[in-house]
Amino acid sequence: MLRLVSDFFWQRIRLFFAVALMVFLLVACKSAERVPKEKAVRNRTAGYVLKRNNEARFDYDWLGMKIDADFGTETETNGFKATIRMRKDSVIWVSITPLLGIEMIRVMITPDSLRYLSKIPENKFYYQGTFEDVNRLIGTAFDFEMLQQLLVGNAIGLERDERRFRGEIDGNDYLLISKYRRKVRRVIGVDDRKLESDTIVVNPDDPRFQKTVKKSDPEDLIVSRYWFEAENFRLIKSVFNDLLRQRTLEVSYSDFQTNEQQFYPSKCRLTIATPRGRQTLNYEITKLSSGKAYDFPFEIPDDYARRDSL
């Protein structure tokens, strides 16, 4: 009797899975019939891509964000949380909290100043300097406008002059490449129409490179590339190769969300590679709000000593 019950039970189980599989296949086949083929990406001029991306840029007057982040080198990685408040073209205020939930660092940046407050036990101090200290800390060249655009996923260093870029299709995305001069082409060994890898490597000891450096403006030695979604023209990746300083900055954006009918990338990965090593910052925006005025508190306790450098 038990064997009959067992056989009956397993027959029902096999029948159930057979029916489920058949239904799944029928639905899948019908769904496949309804899904249109992916449209081919149309050729667009650099000017058209620039115009459409400008329309897709995230704009704001006031902005507040909460982020989860980790910063890593080739040997270690540290996670932290941060609250960021911004007033466009005016202030960026950051409160950094390790995973334990106690604020350890507070930073306030303006177009020409940097204020830094360390609340770390046994290392409490404050520092007041210029925006150039920001560049020294992160190892690359930014201005205030570029930093605030970076945080919300807008392209940095992207000039609106279409004559400075060459456009092409890269897979399902649009790619804009800054045109560089013939003398730079000789150093790289390939022109801007044949670049393939994200990192451009040159030999700093090459006499041609040294000669090119002496005769070139530093900006002429930066090769910039921008990738945009073909459907919405939102920026998804930027790569900057600084040939003079032998470093590469790559910024990638993903997981776009909406705020007041605008799109912003909730995830960002920023990588700086130099001959000395690689540093990576990953962050995810867990909360974002705009349109609300914020305070930017920055009180310095009396017992905090001032330092002359960071």
> C-alpha 193: how far from its chain's center?
24
Residue 146 lies in a domain: yes
Same domain, 53 and 72: no
Q: What DSSP state is assigned to residue 217? A: -
Contact status, residue 167 vs residue 175, Cβ threshold 8 Å: yes
SS3 77: strand
Best CA proximity match to 172, nearest among 263, 36, 37, 40: 40
Q: What is the pLDDT of residue 34?
A: 40
pLDDT at 188: 64
Residue linked to tokens 């040997």: 75
One digit per residue, the tens of pLDDT, for the chain of length 310 reads 333 333 433 343 344 333 333 333 333 333 344 434 456 788 899 999 999 999 999 999 999 999 999 999 888 988 999 999 999 999 999 999 986 788 999 999 999 999 999 999 889 999 999 888 877 776 666 788 988 999 999 998 887 778 888 899 999 999 998 876 666 666 665 555 555 555 566 666 777 767 776 766 666 678 889 999 999 999 999 998 887 777 888 999 999 999 988 999 999 999 988 888 899 999 999 999 998 999 999 999 999 999 988 7
Question: Per DSSP, which regions of the chain are E strands?
Answer: 62-72, 77-87, 91-97, 105-110, 113-120, 123-129, 165-170, 173-178, 222-229, 235-242, 247-259, 262-274, 277-290, 305-306
Which pLDDT score is estimated for 184? 65
Choose among 64, 69, 107, 106: nearest CA to 85.
64
Assess if residue 307 is contained within a domain.
no
Specify the pLDDT at position 229: 95
The pLDDT assigned to 190 comes to 53
Residue 217 has what pLDDT?
66
Let me know whether 67 and 146 are in one domain: yes
- What CATH number is associated with residue 96? 2.50.20.10
Same domain, 74 and 138: yes
**What are the phi and psi torsion angles at 77 (to 5°)?**
-135, 135
Q: How many domains does the chain have?
A: 2
Same domain, residue pair 120 and 162 = no
Q: Which residue reads 């000593």 in tokens? A: 305
For 106, which DSSP code? E
**pLDDT (0 to 100) of residue 199:** 54
Per-residue pLDDT at 7: 42
| Predicted TM-score (pTM) of this structure | 0.78
d(CA 51, CA 268): 23
Look up residue 197 and give its two tokens: 């890898």
User: What gap in Å lies between CA 62 and CA 93, rounded to an integer?
Assistant: 12
Round to whole Å and give the CA distance between 244 and 235. 26
- 143: in domain: yes
46 lies in which domain range? 42-58+154-245
The predicted pLDDT at position 201 comes to 64
230 occurs within a structural domain: yes
Distance of alpha carbon 193 from alpha carbon 170, whole angstroms = 12
- Look at residue 123 and tell me if it is in a domain: yes
Q: 17 phi and psi, to 5 degrees?
A: -65, -35
